Amino acid sequence: MSLSSHRDAYSLILDAIDAGLFKPGDRLVETDLAERFGVSRTPVREALQRLETQSLLTRDGRSLIVASLDHTQIAELYIVRAELEGLAARLAARHATEEEQQVLLDLAQMTLPSAASPGELVRDNRRFHKQIHLASHNRYLVQQLDLVHRSMVLMETSTLSVAGRLKIASDEHWKIAQAIAARDEEAAYNALKSHISNAYVTRLKASAGHEDAE
């Protein structure tokens, strides 16, 4: 079995979790996944082991299930994400090339149609943040942020789906991109941290509203 097949099995399962096809608590069966994705069981087995090592899957008896994040874990994740993303923005303001600055400005100005799917919103949001990570020109920071964003897939919904959040987030993206383009490190750092903080507040409010409805 080629190395690419091993990577593909991992990516296919991770993308399925990210897209909500497999939700927290869902049981993942090796044979079912191999059949679903058209790959042999060996790369699927190794992909599952890798995802378990990364805490994206957890054990329920002998079964592997998609992990879920409790209130404390979500809070811890947002704290780390805010600091690392803020640092990335600061470094991007210092190191980004003119071309990278322009890409960020272009991404920040992109307007998705009102009928855009949650998947489209998440994808475009991720592209913007990933561009900031890369513009930091710090490989170790990029690696750590990849780990953080990998854990974010365990959150069942995006805050962008909350009414009114998309417009606010878009305005925040523009402010971040402008600060980076102006090479204002402090403004970029603060704008990015504020953006993540606001997303966390939105998630807390949405969660509280959901619990009230139940």
Can you list the domains of the chain with their CATH numbers?
A: 3-66 (1.10.10.10), 71-213 (1.20.120.530)
Residue 40: phi and psi, rounded to 5, are -75, 170
- Bridge partner residues of 28 (DSSP): 64
Tokens 């599952």 belong to 48
Long-range contacts of 39-46 (CB under 8 A, 24+ apart): 39/5, 39/8, 39/9, 39/12, 40/1, 40/5, 42/1, 43/1, 43/5, 43/6, 43/8, 43/9, 43/10, 44/9, 44/13, 46/6, 46/9, 46/10
Please indicate, yes or no, whether the overall pTM of this predicted structure exceeds 0.75: yes
C-alpha to C-alpha distance for 96 and 207, rounded to whole angstroms: 37
Task: Give the model's pLDDT for residue 116.
Answer: 59
Q: 159: which DSSP letter?
A: G
pLDDT in tens, the chain (214 residues): 444 445 589 989 988 887 778 888 999 999 999 999 999 999 999 999 999 998 899 998 888 999 988 889 999 999 999 999 999 999 999 999 999 999 999 999 886 555 556 667 778 888 999 999 999 999 999 999 998 988 888 886 667 666 677 888 889 999 999 999 999 999 999 999 999 999 999 888 877 755 433 3
Helices (H), 63-138: 71-95, 98-109, 118-135
* Element at 66 (helix H, strand E): strand 63-66
C-alpha to C-alpha distance for 11 and 150, rounded to whole angstroms: 11
Whole-number Cα distances in Å, 193 to 82, 90, 172, 198: 5, 10, 10, 9
Tokens of 27: 């049981």
Three-class SS of residue 5? helix
* CB-count exposure of residue 114 (10 Å: 0-12, 13-18, 19+): exposed
Task: Give the model's pLDDT for residue 182.
Answer: 98
Cβ atoms of 10 and 47 within 8 Å: the answer is yes
Tokens of 103: 């890409």
